[in-house]
Amino acid sequence: MKRPAVAVMAKAPDFGPVKSRLHAALSPERATALYRCFLLDRLDAIRGLGGVEPVLAFTPPEGRSSLAALAPAGFRLIAQRGIDLGERLASMLGDLLEEQHPGAMAIDSDSPTLPMPYVREAAERLERGDADLVLGPCEDGGYYLIGLRMPQPSLFEDMPWSTDRVLALTVERARALGLRTHLLPPWFDVDTAADLARLHAEMAAAGGGPARTFAFVGDLFREGILTRTPARR
């Protein structure tokens, strides 16, 4: 029996800039190293989830061999298709659903401390048929996860990506389509130096976090590369 598919959306770290909004605080090389920590920790977390089919949906296509060397055993690699994020999400989720998975989810790699029970809840809701659409809201107005039971390309068309309107507009479109929508608890992603300071503060208070990210971010602050206090949300 097919299991719900969870696809981590990823850029190959060695093929162009990543985490560019952090370049004002970190060198491109350090930002890339940070992103690699985020990605590897996310892949390990999904691998440990159980009950799902783990997928690494990557861009650009020529990054396949690079990411194949990073991905843990058990991950299936698929290249993202499309000219923008909306097309890439719609095509990737549509392809997985055509394979008769009882649900397909796309998850980011920029929210390193995201609790995995949230992802498990999304998978279970889709598998049971409790919801047609599951969304994991980001505090910045986007989403860290989107899951579907059937292809819904109109949810991704002409979307103002990277704005605070993404989640609200997606919910509005889902309502117009008559989709049963379930919202997971909100979480935060790391795009700016203030987000990174917040991540460091929360992991330090907890005394731990995703292993690679915890070590790398701790080094950034111990070495004085970043000292900014977290912004209020």
Considering the entire predicted model, what is its pTM?
0.94
Class of domain 5-189: alpha beta
pLDDT tens digits, residue range 185-225? 999 999 999 999 999 999 999 999 999 999 999 999 998 88
Q: 157 exposed, middle or buried (CB, 10 Å; 0-12, 13-18, 19+)? A: exposed
**Of 151, 149, 42, 138, which is closest to residue 92 (Cα–Cα)?**
151
For position 226, what pLDDT does the model report?
80
Residue 61: asked if its preceding bond is cis (omega within 30°), the reply is no
Hey, where are the domains in the chain?
5-189
Residue 37 · residue 30 · CB < 8 Å: no
What mean pLDDT, rounded, does the chain reach? 94
Q: pLDDT tens digits, residue range 11-48?
A: 998 888 899 999 989 999 999 999 999 999 999 999 99
